[in-house]
């Protein structure tokens, strides 16, 4: 039997399970709860405290697992924060597919459904944005990055283009989710390398926007705007970026948006050589670091949005890589 991993916290508690849950015991999967059983919140807490972070679910029950997440994300009895949590878990499953499944076309199509859910969530509930920003997961850096960049890109596109153009918001969310898809083609050892990259390795990493464009070229259903976001997300407003050194409005509008979302997420997340800073510090750093890097109008708009959204009231111990609170 084949399995996939899910986070312990992503399981709906105190209601009958829609799928079987296995635990790894002595390196082997062992049935822990079967479909229809009820898992209590207390039991999950105890498991988590004892270092149990992952369940295994049989691969042929994947649709049932995704269905249960969807149900929870729409359950009116759940708080906005809980709905956001289940939506984010769904996003991780899709991003995992985007980076690991052999045939990319069907998983990109599936991801479009997810982005629609995210756009609907972010535009329908006033607390949704801050709720999705509060949720950070402490593992899977690349996956987390793609999901967060997608959320920030939607938030920012909303600011610039308004709610009326759902199509644009969808394109923005999808571009955020897919912006680093070209890394599929780069050696995983290089992507996850903790020590500094050699010149050749760096050269290879810098090809990921082109690789991304090549992947998406073959999928006609992807909006051109999204394809340009992927290809141009490392271009700088002042022409110092790559791969083509485009400048100002030579760079497509959504690519200028995702460039801001990308750096903002990197700064607010713990990485090998960077301790996460809070959003206010991140904005200050982005402003001072290289004034010509970002589109000044979009940057200003994001700056205001962050101020408005958070009111600068971050918890003093905020750390986006820990499951703790972000805001006071």
Rounded to the nearest whole angstrom, what is the least distance from the CB of residue 80 to Fe ion in the complex? 27
Q: What are the φ and ψ backbone dihedral angles of 82, each rounded to 5 degrees?
A: -65, -45
| DSSP line for 34-83 | -TT-B--HHHHHHHHHTT--EEEEEGGGHHHHHHHHHHHHH-TTS-HHHH
| Closer residue to Fe ion in complex, CB, 44/205 | 205
Specify burial of residue 14 (Cβ count, 10 A radius: 0-12, 13-18, 19+): exposed
38: left (phi over 0), alpha (psi -120 to 50) or beta: beta
Judged by beta carbon, residue 97 or residue 232, the one nearer Fe ion is: 232
Name 295's Cβ contacts closer than 8 Å, sequence gap at least 6. 237, 248, 251, 256, 259, 260
Q: Which is closer to Fe ion, CB of 90 or CB of 144?
A: 144
Give the Cα separation of 134 and 128 in Å (integer).
Answer: 10
Q: Do residues 256 and 295 make contact, with C-beta atoms less than 8 angstroms apart?
A: yes
102: which residues sit within 8 A by CB, 6+ positions away? none
Nearer to Fe ion, 68 or 150 (CB): 150
Q: Which is nearer to Fe ion, 112 or 262 (CB)?
A: 262
For CA atoms 147, 152, 277, 193, give the dihedral sign. positive
Edge-to-edge strand list for the sheet holding 54-58: 3-7, 54-58, 21-25, 28-33
Residue 158, SS3?
Answer: helix
**Interface with Fe ion (CB under 5 A):** 180, 262
Least Å distance, CB 256 to Fe ion, is 14
Identify which of residues 262 and 295 has a Cβ nearer to Fe ion in the complex.
262
Residue closer to Fe ion by CB (options 6, 283) is: 283
d(CA 245, CA 13): 51
**Terminus-to-terminus CA distance in the chain, angstroms?**
45
Cα–Cα distances in angstroms (integers) from residue 300 to residues 13, 114, 119, 159, 232, in the given order: 42, 29, 22, 11, 20
Closest contact distance (angstroms) between CB of 245 and Fe ion is: 16
**Tokens matching residue 298:** 């979009």
Q: Which residue lies nearer to Fe ion by CB, 112 or 180? A: 180
């Amino acid at each position: 039997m084949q399995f996939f991993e899910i986070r312990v916290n992503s399981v709906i508690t105190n209601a009958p399970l829609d799928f079987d849950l296995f635990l790894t015991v002595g390196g082997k999967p062992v049935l822990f709860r079967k479909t229809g059983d009820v898992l209590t919140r207390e039991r999950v807490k105890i498991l988590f405290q004892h270092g149990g972070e992952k369940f295994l679910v049989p691969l042929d029950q994947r649709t049932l697992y995704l269905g249960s997440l969807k149900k929870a994300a729409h359950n009116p009895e759940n708080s906005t924060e809980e709905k956001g949590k289940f939506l984010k878990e769904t996003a991780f499953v899709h991003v995992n597919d985007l980076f690991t499944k052999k045939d990319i076309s069907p998983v990109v199509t599936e991801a479009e459904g997810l982005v629609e859910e995210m756009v609907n969530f972010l535009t329908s509930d006033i607390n949704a944005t801050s709720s999705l920003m509060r949720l950070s997961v402490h593992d899977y850096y690349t996956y987390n990055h793609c999901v967060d960049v997608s959320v920030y890109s939607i938030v920012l596109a909303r600011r610039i283009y308004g709610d009326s153009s759902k199509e644009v918001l969808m394109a923005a969310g999808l571009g955020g989710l897919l912006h680093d898809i070209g890394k599929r083609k780069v050696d995983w050892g290089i992507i996850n390398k903790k020590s500094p990259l050699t010149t050749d390795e760096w050269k290879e990493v810098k090809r990921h926007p082109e690789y991304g464009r090549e992947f998406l070229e073959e999928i006609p259903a992807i909006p051109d705007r999204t394809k340009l976001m992927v290809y141009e997300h490392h271009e700088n407003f002042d022409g110092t970026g790559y791969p083509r050194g485009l400048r100002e409005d030579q760079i497509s509008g959504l690519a200028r948006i995702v460039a801001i979302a990308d750096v903002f997420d990197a700064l607010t997340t713990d990485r090998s050589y960077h301790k996460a800073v809070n959003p206010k510090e991140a904005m200050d750093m982005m402003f001072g670091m290289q004034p010509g890097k970002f589109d000044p109008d979009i940057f200003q708009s994001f700056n205001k949005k962050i101020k408005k959204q958070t009111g600068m009231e971050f918890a003093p111990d905020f750390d986006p890589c820990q499951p703790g609170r972000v805001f006071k």
